[in-house]
Amino acid sequence: MSWLDEVRWDEQGLVPAIAQDDRTGRVLMVAWMNRAALQETARTGRAVYWSRSRGRLWRKGEESGHVQRVKAIRLDCDGDAVLLTVEQVGGIACHTGRERCFFREWREERWVVTEPVIKDPERIYPASVKGKGDEP
């Protein structure tokens, strides 16, 4: 059996994939992978996700340059979630220009932004893709 068959893909053929920075240990983002995305990630050593909004493979950093070099790929006990340990090129994972997508924290019944924008998204993405950017 292929290692890809050991993954329990959901009814859309997807699993959630977490990217964690291998240097800081911070959880950067969660995206989705289908079979082709996981296979290409393993083969190339660069994170590839499935963009649900765009309905195509999303080679992380293809527009922003903020690629993720994959150090390890892990699978959970029931096979339905993937954990990538990555080197985040540019130190920015989020399309908002922040280090990571989890920049809001719950405090007293509110979501509070706790992390700064490192680089203006308008400087990350060319005008042609502005507003679409590197979003899932």
Q: Find out whether 94 is annotated in a ligand binding site.
A: yes
**Residues 12 and 19 sit within 8 Å (Cβ to Cβ):** no
Residue 84 CA, chain-centre distance (Å), reads: 9
The size of the interface with a second copy (CB under 8 A), counted in residues, is 36
- 81: contact with a second copy by CB under 8 A: yes
Binding flag, residue 118, a second copy (CB under 8 A): no
22 is known to lie in a ligand binding site: no
Q: Is 102 in the site for a second copy (CB under 8 A)?
A: yes
- In whole angstroms, the minimum distance from the beta carbon of 49 to a second copy comes to 13
| DSSP-based three-state secondary structure for 16 | strand
State which amino acid sits at residue 52: R
DSSP state of 116: -
Longest dimension (CA), the chain: 49
Q: Does 99 bind a second copy (CB under 8 A)?
A: no
Contact 91, 69 (CB under 8 A): no
User: Which window, 61-69, 106-114, 124-132, contacts a second copy (CB under 8 A)?
Assistant: 106-114
3-class secondary structure, 12: coil
Q: Which residues bind a second copy (CB under 8 A)?
A: 2-3, 6, 16, 18, 20, 25-27, 29-30, 42, 72-78, 81, 83, 94-96, 98, 101-106, 109-111, 135-136
